[in-house]
């Protein structure tokens, strides 16, 4: 069964029991989601990249809890806007594959807009 769909109902029940549904407009949920994403960033902000790969058990549990909070608000937003997250990810992967062709981006972290610019420069070069 689709895990995303399976989690929506208990989260809706949790909000309903507390009469919190009235606060959960999409606008507000996007704010709450970004706040949780920043609490995740906070776990890593003073660590080196190497340290972020070797968390202590206490750090690891804190990270898992913040990841769960992000997921919870993403699922709440998906419920409110009637979004199927599995389909959304699958469709986005198709778009991303087109936006970042392997032969152009391999090993580089430049943004896709920069590739488009590079490509235009190349095209111009070939035309001259």
Q: For residues 81-120, which are near its own copies according to CB under 8 A?
A: 81, 83, 85-86, 88-89, 91-93, 95-97, 100, 102, 105-107, 109
Binders of its own copies among 14-53, rule CB under 8 A?
14, 17-20, 22-23, 25-28, 30-35, 37-50, 52-53
Check residue 121 for interaction with its own copies (CB under 8 A): no
Among 9, 68, 118, 122, binds its own copies (CB under 8 A): 68
Q: Which residue from 38, 102, 111, 49 is spatially nearest to 73, judged by alpha carbons?
A: 38
E strand map for 53-107: none
The tokens of 8 are what? 């929506």
Q: What angle do CA 117, 119, 124 make, to 5 degrees?
A: 95
Q: How far apart are the first and last CA of the chain?
A: 56
Q: Where are the beta strands (DSSP E) in the chain?
A: none
8 counts as binding its own copies under rule CB under 8 A? no
Question: How many residues bind to its own copies according to rule CB under 8 A?
Answer: 74
> Pick from 7, 12, 99, 115: which binds its own copies (CB under 8 A)?
7
> Cα-flanking dihedrals φ and ψ of residue 91, to 5°?
-70, -35
Q: Is the CB of 48 or the CB of 126 nearer to its own copies?
A: 48
């Amino acid at each position: 069964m689709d895990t995303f769909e399976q989690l929506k109902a208990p989260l809706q029940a949790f909000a309903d029991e507390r009469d919190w549904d009235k606060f959960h407009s999409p606008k507000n949920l996007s704010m709450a989601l970004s706040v949780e994403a920043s609490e995740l960033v906070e776990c890593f902000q003073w660590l080196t990249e190497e340290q972020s790969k070797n968390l202590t058990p206490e750090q690891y549990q804190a990270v898992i809890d913040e990841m769960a909070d992000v997921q919870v608000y993403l699922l709440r937003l998906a419920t409110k806007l009637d979004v199927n997250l599995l389909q959304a990810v699958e469709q986005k992967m198709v778009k991303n594959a087109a936006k970042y062709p392997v032969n152009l981006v391999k090993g580089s972290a430049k943004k896709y807009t920069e590739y488009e610019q590079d490509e235009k420069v190349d095209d111009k070069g070939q035309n001259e």
